[in-house]
Amino acid sequence: MVRKAKKAGIEVREASYDDAFVQGMTDIFNETPKRQGRRFWHYGKDFETVKQQFSRFLFREELIGAYYGGELVGFAMLANARQYGVLGQIISKIKHRDKAINNALIAKVIEKCETKQLPYLVYAYWNENSLSDFKRHCGFKCIKLPRYFVPLTFRGTLALKLGIHRDWKEIIPAQIKDPLKKLRSRWSSLSRDKF
């Protein structure tokens, strides 16, 4: 897939957080209101909002841009967390999906991790969907880490007993959640067809 991206004319390189890069990010975010079958939360943000929101962690992140004909068509943000490289953001233009941009970005991120001697690369939030399939295809593995909750108050004890300390999505059983996801996907495709 990395060779495919190169043959398609994708150039992946380190980038700097300047106005041209921020404008490219804004264009990518505003390409479509929906991604992965749901509303995309960066859609509709203007240049100034994107510039302000994404500048917060630049002291610890490196930017990697994917360019096609000089246009930013994808980018990744890699944070250095001591022995872990953390992939903060990776996104590309849907209209250039056929060029394997995200695969090329992942390859460059791995190259950066090797250069910085970061033995682990974290691509967080593992849900069973097409993104998880992409992660597996790129060689990532889901590693579950234990989480411990200690109640400090009576309300905390009650919350633990009722199970409401977890995110509401975790409470829904898989046999109910999966059909709901399919229903949302169908609804999304129907509403997309109308416009």
Nearest to 96 by CA among 74, 77, 76: 74
**Residues 37, 127: one domain?**
yes
Q: What is the pLDDT of residue 195?
A: 46
Q: What is the DSSP string of 34-71?
A: EETTEE-TTTT--HHHHHHHHTTTTTTEEEEEEEETTE
How much of the chain is in helix, strand and coil states, percent to nearest 5? 45, 20, 35
**Residues 54, 105: one domain?**
yes
**Residues 28, 48: one domain?**
yes
**Residues 105, 32: one domain?**
yes
Q: Strand order in 120-122's β-sheet?
A: 10-15, 61-68, 71-81, 84-92, 120-122
Q: Are strands 84-92 and 10-15 parallel, antiparallel or unpaired?
A: unpaired
Kindly give the confidence (pLDDT) of every residue in the chain, 195 residues in length, as a single tens digit, with 9 standing for 90 and above: 888 889 899 999 999 999 999 999 999 999 988 887 778 889 999 999 999 998 888 888 899 999 999 999 999 999 988 889 998 888 999 999 899 999 999 999 999 999 999 998 888 777 766 777 778 777 788 888 788 889 999 999 998 888 887 777 777 777 887 788 788 777 777 765 554
Q: How many domains does the chain have?
A: 2
112 with 62: CB under 8 angstroms?
yes
Q: What is the pLDDT of residue 78?
A: 93
**Residues 176, 91: one domain?**
no
The pLDDT tens digits of the residues spanning 83-99 come to 899 988 889 999 998 99
Alpha carbon distance 33, 42 (integer Å) = 8
Q: What is the pLDDT of residue 28?
A: 94
**Residues 160, 138: one domain?**
no
Domain encompassing residue 48: 2-145
Q: What is the pLDDT of residue 20?
A: 95
Of 103, 130, 145, which one is at a domain's C-terminal end?
145
**Residues 36, 127: one domain?**
yes
**Residues 121, 167: one domain?**
no
Secondary structure (3-state) at 115: helix
Radius of gyration of the chain (CA): 19
Secondary structure (3-state) at 102: helix
**Residues 187, 109: one domain?**
no
The values of phi and psi at residue 118, to 5°, are: -100, 110
**Residues 42, 132: one domain?**
yes
**Residues 121, 166: one domain?**
no
Alpha carbon distance 21, 75 (integer Å) = 9
Q: What is the pLDDT of residue 192?
A: 56
Q: Which two tokens stand for residue 79?
A: 């944070």
